[in-house]
Amino acid sequence: MPRSSASNNLVLLLTVGLAAWVVPGAGHILVNEKKRALIIFTAIVLTFGIGIFVGSVAVINPVGDKPWYVAQIMNSPMVAAIGHLTTTRGYAVFGWPKEVGQIYTSTAGLLNLLCIVNAVYLAYLRGAQKTGD
């Protein structure tokens, strides 16, 4: 059943990618890399948290700062909810707190993107080993 096996593998890859996006490090847990998952979760959540602490939730602005938002959304879908909150409540931030907050939250997002790709790649390798490719 090669077609069924390929389809199962695709579902696994999608699940791992989605899990890694929803919670940083969750994708690595699914491929049984618990140490990596813990390190990734701690580092990304702390980096994102520092950005929010310094710049407030206003650094996530899907209307005024779209390029930054593209990187920030890679952290988790929860960022979209925070972005909605920022735009509807009219929170604002200026100057250095904005710069630092955006750099930290965006870097955390890009690091999570790296981890998503890495988790999917590990899942692909595990799938390939199982099928003997």
Partner 1 sequence: MSPMAVFVVVAAFTRPEQIGTGPAMMLWVLPLAASIAIVYKATKVPKITARSFIKESAVLFGSIVVFVFVSMIVGFVLTWLIVE
Residue with tokens 């690091």: 111
Q: Give the residue with the Cβ less far from partner 1, 6 or 89.
A: 89
Q: Give the residue with the Cβ less far from partner 1, 11 or 85.
A: 85
Residue with tokens 């997002």: 109
Query: Binders of partner 1: how many residues, by CB under 8 A?
Result: 36
Task: Tell me which DSSP letter residue 32 carries.
Answer: T
Helices H, strands E: what count in the chain?
6, 0
Q: Cβ neighbours of residue 91 under 8 Å, at least 6 residues apart?
A: 56, 57, 58, 85
17 binds partner 1 (CB under 8 A): no
Q: Which of 98, 80, 86 is nearest to 21 (CA)?
A: 80
CB 4, min distance to partner 1, A: 31
- Considering only residues 18, 39, 87, 126, which one is a binding residue for partner 1 as defined by CB under 8 A? 39
Q: Which residues bind partner 1 (CB under 8 A)?
A: 35-36, 39-40, 43-44, 46-47, 50, 52-58, 78, 81-82, 85, 89, 91, 93, 96-98, 100-101, 103-104, 107-108, 111, 114-115, 118
